[in-house]
Structure 1
Amino acid sequence: MNQRYALCIVLIALAVLPLACGKKEEPAAPTSAAPASVAAPEPPVSIAALNRGAGLYQEHCAQCHGPEAQGHPDWQTPGVTAAPPLDGTGNDWKRSRAELVAAIRNGVKRDGAQVMPSWNGRLSDNEIDDIIAWFQALWPPEVYSQWRRKQATPKG
């Protein structure tokens, strides 16, 4: 097993452990309903989902995006079509969840040419969710926090 992959799994487990073992508090009575445009908090991702996502990523995505989601070295070179990183160092965190899902499901075209294949019909919605959960687990905490804040910002 890749050492970085193993380290990621251990770090994720350590991050999730306090959530599972933490003191349970009684929920406060709601004061008002949240606006429909604000994203609801996502439930914590399970270790099983991360393991599935890691395997699916290695099987379907690593060939282009790199085994550690580091992307192709030329991904920013003008005129070169190369897979970007998905580890939080590229533009992936600037995309909404819906945009990430759509890119995987429908593929990506640039100048009319297919530069990323469509995985529609080859990956289920749950498999796509697991892949996204895995590569988001690689994002630095400040990048993921910024992405979450952006997801919760009302569109208007």
Structure 2
Amino acid sequence: MRNELRKILWLGLLLGGLILAVLVGWHQVRTASTAASSAEVFEQGRQVYADQCATCHGAHLEGQPDWKTPLPSGRLPAPPHDAGGHTWHHPDDILFRIVKEGTAAIVGGGYESDMPGFADVLSDAEIRAVLVYIKSTWPARERTYQENVSQAR
């Protein structure tokens, strides 16, 4: 009886250890997969930004000079997307819509902007990726503020 109890105890420990090893391994694979996926999204966003956004907003997200001063057309120059701009003041849903639909469509009221909508150029996933890239360049304070603004909506 005692030997049977020991065998059951050892079998239970062995089975528990095996289950624990599988769970730890699954977590590590999942974490590595998530990190790889995040890196892929970041890289896609960086490339989309370079291809579609940098011409107006600058290769380093610096925007056009005097971006707060209207051009002769009455429209504003392209703002920076770095921490010196105001992009981080906006929640995710507004940033997404600005890229997809264009600034004038979001602001409304006859507002005119040189920022076109990219609905016919970029997929929703590409828009999200470029926003991931832009947000990754912000200091922690701006990222935290923007995350809080996004969650409050």
Is the TM value for this pair above 0.5? yes
Unaligned runs of 5+ in 2: 1-26, 28-33
1:57–1:131 CA contact under 8 A, matched in 2: yes
**What letter matches 1:120 in structure 2?**
A
TM-score after normalising by structure 1: 0.65
Change (3 A) 1:122 1:74: same
Task: Give the superposition deviation at 1:120.
Answer: 0.6
Change (3 A) 1:150 1:112: closer
Counterpart residue number, 2:125: 126
Counterpart residue number, 1:46: 38
Summarize deviations over 1:83-103 as a string: whole Å, max 9, x none. Answer: 001112211011110100100
Change (3 A) 1:112 1:80: closer
Counterpart residue number, 2:52: 60
Counterpart residue number, 1:115: 114
Counterpart residue number, 1:91: 86
Identify which of 76, 79, 82 aligns with 2:77.
Answer: 82
2:61–2:82 CA contact under 8 A, matched in 1: yes
Summarize deviations over 1:28-61 as a string: whole Å, max 9, x none. Answer: xxxxxxxxxxxxxxx8771111111111101000
Q: How many residue pairs get matched?
A: 113
Q: Whose helix fraction is larger, Structure 1's or Structure 2's? A: 2
- What is the distance in 2 between the residues matched to 1:108 and 1:148? 21
RMSD between superposed Cα atoms in Å: 2.1
1:52–1:130 CA contact under 8 A, matched in 2: yes
Q: Whose strand fraction is larger, Structure 1's or Structure 2's? A: 1
TM-score after normalising by structure 2: 0.66
- What is the distance in 1 between the residues matched to 2:63 and 2:137? 13
- What is the distance in 2 between the residues matched to 1:137 and 1:96? 15
- What is the distance in 2 between the residues matched to 1:134 and 1:76? 24
Summarize deviations over 1:65-89 as a string: whole Å, max 9, x none. Answer: 0001111121112455200011122
**What letter matches 1:126 in structure 2?**
A
Identical positions, percent: 28
Task: Give the superposition deviation at 1:133.
Answer: 0.3
2:76–2:113 CA contact under 8 A, matched in 1: no
